[in-house]
Amino acid sequence: MPPVDGYPSPDVAPDNGELTEIAYAKVNLALHVRDRRDDGYHALESLFIFASDGDVLTGRTDASGAITLTIAGAFADGLDNGGGNLVVKAAQALREHLGEERGAALTLVKTLPVASGIGGGSADAAATLRLLCRLWNAQIAADDLERIALLLGSDVPACLASATKMVRGRGEVLEDVDISGLSGTPMLLVNPGVGMSTARVFQGWDRVDRGALVADNLDRVIACGRNDLEPAAVAMAPVIADVLAALRQCSGVRVARMSGSGATCFALFDDEAAADAAAAIIKARQADWWVMETRIRPA
């Protein structure tokens, strides 16, 4: 049984002392920017959903006390595996909180694009906290774990559970939501190979408050939701508009938007056949774009 209630169960059973966690891709089904707070952060309202796929983190205890990270996978190039990586920061923060003396040898297989608006680094940090709680058999309250997560990044607390949530503030206000028809929906993620600076995209936001996000049902989120950062991101990287156009032209699309600060865009589909057909078309036309076929994780 996981030491901390309310977070995902192990995806892979222990094997010779090694544990595995999936760092599920985060998608902003809608992202409304309301105002800039006194502390410098933007007040956000966002409906977070999570893909059933993501980066893969494995780890085993290191009795020497060292925290080490090896990075592999399609998007490993250029990533820091030292103290600047959120995986290492998460491990060190949790160990300091627990007073833990053991270390961990961690391996991250990076399958999600970097700086792409789908919470890759935040999901990796959250997966690290979940894995090490199990690896070290940590006794820690869920509230304490969420406080550690928030110190690591605004999206990390929501990524702990990797389940559909309404997120407000800068990420510290989480509300469980169960929207009928959302769980299991086929979803396509597409990134044109452009890395985006979240800070620069926020700087480009036009500072117009276009109203609250109402997320009581999927139809309303599709009809009235939006991503307020999309225009600024498109201005910085016009290819994002090409991705959105390609997705919206596919048959069976219920909604297509940019996630987070970009450049990854997503589309929800009526059924798996429509998603498969769309993926095939986009891959054939844009061989250099990253495409992931997935489903929305349960709430």
Average pLDDT over residues 159-186: 94
Phi, psi dihedrals of residue 220, rounded to the nearest 5°: -70, -40
Cα 122 from chain centre? 6
Is the confidence at residue 1, as pLDDT, over 60? no
CATH number of 12-176: 3.30.230.10
Contacts of range 32-35, beta carbons closer than 8 Å, 24 or more positions apart: 32/210, 32/211, 32/212, 32/213, 32/225, 32/226, 32/228, 33/202, 33/205, 33/209, 33/228, 33/229, 34/209, 34/212, 35/209
Cβ atoms within 10 Å of 218's Cβ, excluding its own = 19
Question: E-assigned strands of the chain?
Answer: 12-15, 18-36, 42-62, 67-72, 103-109, 165-169, 173-176, 186-191, 253-258, 265-269, 290-295
> Which residue among the candidates 26, 89, 110, 165 is catalytic per the annotation?
26
What are 87's two structure tokens? 């995986």
Write the DSSP symbol of residue 138.
-
Question: Do 273 and 191 contact (CB within 8 A), yes or no?
Answer: no
C-alpha 127/C-alpha 7 separation (Å) is: 10
Write the DSSP symbol of residue 229.
T
Strands 103-109 and 42-62, sheet pairing: antiparallel
Question: Do 146 and 106 contact (CB within 8 A), yes or no?
Answer: no
- Determine what percent of the chain is predicted with pLDDT higher than 70: 95
Assigned CATH class of 186-295 = alpha beta
* Cis peptide leading into residue 105 (ω within 30°): no
Residue 26 bears catalytic tag:
yes
pTM score of the predicted model: 0.94
Residue 271 bears catalytic tag:
no
Cα 89 from chain centre? 17
- Residues in a beta bridge with 93: none
Q: Where in the chain is the domain with CATH 3.30.70.890?
A: 186-295
Q: Where in the chain is the domain with CATH 3.30.230.10?
A: 12-176
Average pLDDT over residues 208-234: 96
Average pLDDT over residues 159-165: 97
Residue 157, amino acid: P
C-alpha 219/C-alpha 249 separation (Å) is: 20
> Which residue among the candidates 124, 155, 165, 228 is catalytic per the annotation?
155
Cα 60 from chain centre? 24
Mean pLDDT of the chain: 94
- List, for residues 2-13, the tens digit of each pLDDT value: 446 667 755 554
- The pLDDT value given to residue 148: 98
Average pLDDT over residues 215-239: 97
- List, for residues 52-106, the tens digit of each pLDDT value: 999 999 999 999 999 999 999 999 999 999 999 999 999 999 999 999 999 999 9
CA atoms within 13 A on the CB side of 253: 19
What is the 3-state secondary structure of 157-214?
Answer: HHHHHCCCEEEEECCCEEEECCCCCCCCCEEEEEECCCCCCHHHHHHHCCCCCCCCCC
Residue in this structure with the two tokens 């990390």, named with its chain if needed? 156
Cα 15 from chain centre? 27
